[in-house]
Amino acid sequence: MGSRASTLLREEEIEEIKKETGFSHSQITRLYSRFTSLDKGENGTLSREDFQRIPELAINPLGDRIINAFFPEGEDQVNFRGFMRTLAHFRPIEDNEKNKDPIASEPLNSRSNKLLFAFRLYDLDRDDKISRDELLQVLRMMVGVNISDEQLGSIADRTIQEADQNGDNSISFNEFIKVGNVYILYIDIDIDI
């Protein structure tokens, strides 16, 4: 963590990020400090290797998917704004959050945005459906080599059966919400300052 952390982030930028993501001033500076400590190349952006250097993330079975979520389509670098935007999905929902602007768009960390984010982690091709293959992919990442193809296939089939309501043999976003909703409350991270 360099002592140049707070000097490189201008006040206007902090304000913009605050408006866009809802993080507080101290949370933003704290995360900027973290961003710069991960940025070994010191060029203001993070690459996939920078994320891979975190051991706890590298051993996470879904680590690669999580890392991909930070990078927009086809890009290899993410800057601080992008970094914050992704993390903003997981900012805890506070009771006292009032929309200052009635026509402002929904905050990034609203329940449905969180679920959409989680849904997209499964639905790689963005066709708004989780197909059997996409589900199998995630399952395979989580269990490694420890479960056979047939067993994994039947688990996937069963899961789709339980969630699928319109019989198209895939899980749409609405069907996903019904399954995932209970746990969505716990999908937030605390950034403690």
Partner 1 sequence: MEDLWSIAVVLLQVWFSVMIGFIMIPAMFGLSLGVTSVYIQILVKILEVTVRKLDEKGGSMEQEMGELRRYRTQSISRGEFALSDSFYFYIKGLESIVDDQVTQRFSSEELVSWNLLTRTNHNFHYISLRLTIIWGLGVIIRYCVLFPLRITLAIIGLTWLVIGTTLVGFLPNNRLKNWLSELVHLMCYRICARGLSATIQYHNKLNKPQKGGICVANHTSPIDIVILANDGCYAMVGQSHGGLMGVIQRSMVRSCPHVWFERSEMRDRNAVTSRLRAHVAAKTNLPILIFPEGTCINNTSVMMFKKGSFEIGGTIYPVAIKYDPRFGDAFWNSAKYNMVNYLLRMMTSWAIVVNVWYLPPMTRRVGEDAAQFANRVKSAIAHQGGLLDMAWDGSLKRAKVKEEFKEQQQKMYSSMVMGKKGRNSQEPHTESTRRQ
Residues that bind partner 1 (CB under 8 A): 1-3, 5-6, 29, 31, 33-34, 37-38, 51-63, 65-66, 87, 90, 118, 121-122, 138-139, 142-147, 151, 155, 158-159, 163, 171, 176, 179-180, 182-183, 186-187, 189-193
Nearer Cβ to partner 1 (11/73): 11
Nearer Cβ to partner 1 (107/180): 180
The Cα angle at residue 178 between residues 157 and 62, in degrees rounded to 5 = 60
Minimum CB separation of residue 113 from partner 1 in Å reads 14
- Residue 143: how many other CB atoms lie within 10 Å: 14
Nearer Cβ to partner 1 (3/104): 3
DSSP assignment string, 59-103:
T-TTHHHHHHHHS-TT-S-EEHHHHHHHHHTTSPPPTT---SSTT
Minimum CB separation of residue 131 from partner 1 in Å reads 14
Minimum CB separation of residue 102 from partner 1 in Å reads 31
Closest-CA residue to 13 (of 87, 72, 80):
80
Minimum CB separation of residue 163 from partner 1 in Å reads 7
Nearer Cβ to partner 1 (79/122): 122
What dihedral angle (degrees, nearest 10) is formed by the CA atoms of 38, 41, 44, 46? -50
Amino acid at residue number 48: R
Minimum CB separation of residue 1 from partner 1 in Å reads 6
CB-based burial, 22-50: b 16+ in 10 Å, e otherwise: bbeeebbbbbbbebbeebeeeeebbbeeb
Q: Which residue has the tokens 């296939």?
A: 153
Minimum CB separation of residue 21 from partner 1 in Å reads 13
- DSSP letter (8 states) at residue 132: H
Q: Which residue has the tokens 């199998």?
A: 136
Nearer Cβ to partner 1 (1/75): 1
Nearer Cβ to partner 1 (20/138): 138
